[in-house]
């Protein structure tokens, strides 16, 4: 077993998700917020502003005109969309790098995270969930723990793989067994340290539904299902493969039919090139 | 020269320099076909079993579905001079999440779709590596028909 405290300490070496993300989420959740309030907060962070404008001008949106300011971006795209893009920009820093332990090249984990977030948003809207931005952000950040755990997974890969291939463990269960902590639990600790809401911490920590009790949480269930769909599509999937558990009852709880399920995949297929153009920036 | 076959995409080629590659299949299926006489290779990466789900989408992009993507792949290879009786076929992918069952088991259904189609059309499958929980990547060299299979975390081998 590895010294867990030394793993947790590594959180301090990462750049936390910037403040702008927290502020923008607060604005998004307040129905009385205005466009200019949102704009003021975003322009204050130059890196986020630059990323936002690049994303808005990417092939994904295919806008007829060049967008040159945050204000213009909000007018064109609406508050909802801009909030998502700012959250994406804020989360991208740590997720873009290669993760050797999970056999993920540069950009793979990022592509996986963005895809999960977009699908989670689609499911959330379909189901009529309330906190769409919370769900979007949680889906985007759910695998942040992999950024730290990757090194440990690399060192113990054979042991983890043996548990998965011979003992019927999920990859997460095997991480926990061999390393002492799994990527979801570690991600929850990171979110906590970075001052995300207790709800966000819970979703990230429970996104593989380790206990039956987490299945009753609608937001967690949506993030879980988006993750499952991305895994099936193979978008940015690594050495952990599809070695997670599928809980059929969640499909029922979210009122998804077999057709809904496949429709999400088919719709994603249509957008995949544009999504790739957006995550490359 | 690597030719990347994206998700819900296909490529055929008779350029001896070309290596067709498709990455990270998950529950999707990758089908590599090769005619050693015409030296024509093709690679398809489809996501779902049946186009009845959404015929409009299938019309726009047949490669989303098995039942429209597979005929498109073979037809494109025939255009470059490949002959059905000489074509060798490799199928990989179709992984499943643990405990995934029935209608929601897209990996299994993707596999069944191609097996049915090939059985009906008397196409012999030369090699398969399907199912399980692993993530696969496949490459095909058009020059000689060599196929490499990579399983994430476990390296690449020639098949």
| R_g of chain B computed on alpha carbons | 15
Q: Is A52 left (phi over 0), alpha (psi -120 to 50) or beta?
A: alpha
Look at B27 and A242 and tell me if their CB atoms are within 8 Å: yes
Look at A103 and B104 and tell me if their CB atoms are within 8 Å: no
Cα B31 from chain centroid (whole Å): 2
What's the pLDDT at A1?
65
Domain boundaries, chain B: 2-158
What lies within 8 Å, CB to CB, of B158 at 6+ separation is B146, B147, B148, B149
Identify the weakest region by mean pLDDT among A165-169, A192-196, B19-23, B81-85. Answer: A192-196
Question: What kind and span of H or E run contains A118?
Answer: helix A108-127
Domains in chain A (CATH in brackets) are 4-13+97-279 (1.10.3210.10)
A81-102 core/surface letters (b: 16 or more CB in 10 A; e: else)? ebbbbbbbbbbbbbbbbebebb
Among B18, B23, B16, smallest CA distance to B3 is for B18
Task: Kindly indicate the confidence band of residue A53, based on its pLDDT and cuts at 50, 70 and 90.
Answer: very high
CATH 3.30.1330.200 fits B2-158, yes or no: yes
Residue A245 backbone phi and psi in degrees, to 5: -100, 135
Residue of B nearest to A100 (CA): B153
- Integer Cα distance of B96 and B111 in angstroms: 11
Question: What was the ipTM of the complex prediction?
Answer: 0.95
Task: Kindly indicate the confidence band of residue B132, based on its pLDDT and cuts at 50, 70 and 90.
Answer: very high
What's the pLDDT at A272?
84
Does the predicted TM-score (pTM) go above 0.90?
A: yes
For chain B, say whether A115 makes contact (Cβ under 8 Å).
no
Q: Note the pLDDT tens digit of each residue in A81-125.
A: 899 899 888 888 889 999 999 999 999 999 999 999 999 999 999
For chain B, say whether A270 makes contact (Cβ under 8 Å).
yes
Higher confidence at residue B1 or residue B38?
A: B38
């Amino acid at each position: 077993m590895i010294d867990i405290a030394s793993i947790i300490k590594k959180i301090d070496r990462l750049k936390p998700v910037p403040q702008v993300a927290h502020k923008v989420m607060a604005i998004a959740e307040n129905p009385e917020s205005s466009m200019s309030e949102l704009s003021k907060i975003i322009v204050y962070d130059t890196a986020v502003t630059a990323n936002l404008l690049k994303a808005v001008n990417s092939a994904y949106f295919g806008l007829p005109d060049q967008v040159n300011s945050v204000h213009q971006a909000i007018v064109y795209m609406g508050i909802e969309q801009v909030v998502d893009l700012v959250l994406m920009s804020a989360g991208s820093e740590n997720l873009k790098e290669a993760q050797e332990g999970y056999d993920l090249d540069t950009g793979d984990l990022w592509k996986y995270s963005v895809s999960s977030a977009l699908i989670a948003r689609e499911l959330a809207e379909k189901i009529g969930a309330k906190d769409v931005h919370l769900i979007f952000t949680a889906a985007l950040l759910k695998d942040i723990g992999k950024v730290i755990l990757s090194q440990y997974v690399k060192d113990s890969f054979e042991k983890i793989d043996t548990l998965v291939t011979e003992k019927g463990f999920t990859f997460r269960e095997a991480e926990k067994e061999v390393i002492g902590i799994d990527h979801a639990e570690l991600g929850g600790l990171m979110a906590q340290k970075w001052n995300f809401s207790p709800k966000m911490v819970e979703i990230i920590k429970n996104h593989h539904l380790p206990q039956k009790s987490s299945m009753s949480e609608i937001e967690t269930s949506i993030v879980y299902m988006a993750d499952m769909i991305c895994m099936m599509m193979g978008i940015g999937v690594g050495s952990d493969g599809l070695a997670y558990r599928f809980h059929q009852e969640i499909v029922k709880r979210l009122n998804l039919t077999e057709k809904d399920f496949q429709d999400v995949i088919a719709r994603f297929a249509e957008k995949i090139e544009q999504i790739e153009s957006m995550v490359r920036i | 020269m690597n030719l990347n076959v994206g998700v819900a995409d296909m490529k055929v080629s008779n350029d001896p320099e070309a290596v067709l590659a498709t990455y990270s299949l998950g529950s999707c299926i990758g089908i590599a076909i090769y005619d050693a006489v015409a030296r024509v290779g093709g690679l398809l990466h489809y996501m779902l079993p049946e186009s009845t789900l959404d015929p409009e989408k299938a019309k726009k992009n047949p490669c989303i579905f098995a039942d429209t993507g597979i005929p498109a792949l073979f037809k494109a290879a025939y255009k470059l001079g490949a002959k059905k009786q000489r074509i060798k076929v490799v199928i990989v992918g179709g992984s499943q999440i643990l405990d995934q069952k029935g209608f929601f088991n897209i990996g299994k259904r993707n596999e069944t779709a191609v097996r049915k189609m090939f059985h009906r059309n008397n196409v012999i499958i030369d090699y398969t590596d399907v199912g399980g929980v692993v993530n696969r990547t496949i490459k095909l060299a058009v020059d000689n028909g060599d196929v490499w299979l990579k399983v994430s975390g476990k390296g690449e081998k020639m098949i």
